[in-house]
Amino acid sequence: MSELALQLITVELENGKQGVFIGGPLITDDYTEEETQVDSIWFSEIQEVSDNITLAELLNFVTKEIRSRNNQLN
């Protein structure tokens, strides 16, 4: 079985609400502080997915969303 690197990102708003996002690692020990400054943040529309979605299905869904976002920018 192959392994997939994942990283959790927790965002807390001033009103106390929190969100946890799962994705490919953004920051590792190899990066300097200058390389890890946030340039922009994009929020997709809220999507409904099955509560029994597999990790593979979720990654496929996310990949399509990223490609769609990149196409909108070009």
pLDDT (0 to 100) of residue 16: 94
Whether the full predicted model's pTM is greater than 0.75, yes or no, is no
- Give the C-alpha separation, 23 to 59, whole Å: 9
Task: Give the pair of three-digit tokens for residue 24.
Answer: 């490919």
Question: Quick check: is 41 in a domain?
Answer: no
pLDDT (0 to 100) of residue 52: 94
Question: Quick check: is 15 in a domain?
Answer: yes
Identify which has the larger pLDDT, 69 or 16: 16
Structure confidence at residue 15 as a pLDDT band (50, 70, 90)? very high
User: Per-residue pLDDT tens for 17-74?
Assistant: 999 888 888 877 787 777 788 888 878 888 888 999 998 898 888 888 888 878 877 7
Question: Quick check: is 52 in a domain?
Answer: no
Range of the structural domain that residue 9 is part of: 1-30
